A = this chain, B = another copy of it.
């Protein structure tokens, strides 16, 4: 009987940071032992390997995925695992499988009976949920809200209702250059006593995590989040 390799899910830092601040030592030791990787972007993957002091960069074999990669191709990427080699699945930033195209690879791995081992690491979404103080027993991450204005407004109202009716905290993200518009929409649409979390540059030097009711946000300067990676959350 052929023994398959293990698919390790390798979190990556969320920006320019000392990786010892955000990754356990085990991850870094493990990365050094791997040859086969699946990543979103070759340049960023190599930069991460370098941070881990990966010694023989020329030996690292990278398969690149994005949200458009077809299932057949994704399946072919798993060939080294079927031949008994361990592989590492990396995200561009943060944790594979959370708000990144890696989930599809993981799904196929389970279907083939390949062992999947997630490693601990930074996720701006998860760290924002922790730091929100909202409801750690009941929360949802909704990815990106709709781009079209009316649909977006409808979605924001729906999410607020979901907080109120189900006591479920709601988290979402936005393309950084649209942060300001989304923030303005939230202030306009949400109820005054709804709490809004704005978490920017998580784990980085300029990290800022603010939670205030809409009524307070309306009276103060907006957070310093223009074009910065930001997670939003609401709860009541």
One digit per residue, 1 when the CB lies within 8 angstroms of any chain B CB and 0 when it does not, for chain A 191-215 equals 0000000000011000101111000
For A25, the chain B residues whose CB sits under 8 A away are 20-21, 25
Residue contact A120 to B122, C-beta cutoff 8 Å: yes
Name A's interface SS. mixed
Residue contact B120 to A105, C-beta cutoff 8 Å: no
A138 is an interface residue with CB less than 8 A from chain B: yes
Residues of A87-106 contacting chain B, CB below 8 A = 95-100, 102-106
How far, in whole Å, are A24 and B168 apart by their CA atoms in the complex? 30
Residue contact A98 to B20, C-beta cutoff 8 Å: no
Residue contact B133 to A127, C-beta cutoff 8 Å: no
For A130, the chain B residues whose CB sits under 8 A away are 9, 95-98, 106, 118
Partner pick for A97 among B23, B120, B129, B202, CB 8 A cutoff: B129
Residues of A within 8 A of B (CB): 9, 18, 20-26, 95-100, 102-110, 115-118, 120-123, 126-144, 168, 202-203, 207, 209-212
**Contacts A126-B126, A137-B143, A139-B141 known; 19 new A-B pairs at CB < 8 A:** A9-B130, A25-B25, A95-B126, A97-B129, A97-B130, A97-B133, A97-B136, A98-B129, A99-B136, A102-B136, A104-B133, A106-B130, A106-B132, A110-B212, A116-B131, A117-B131, A118-B131, A120-B120, A120-B127
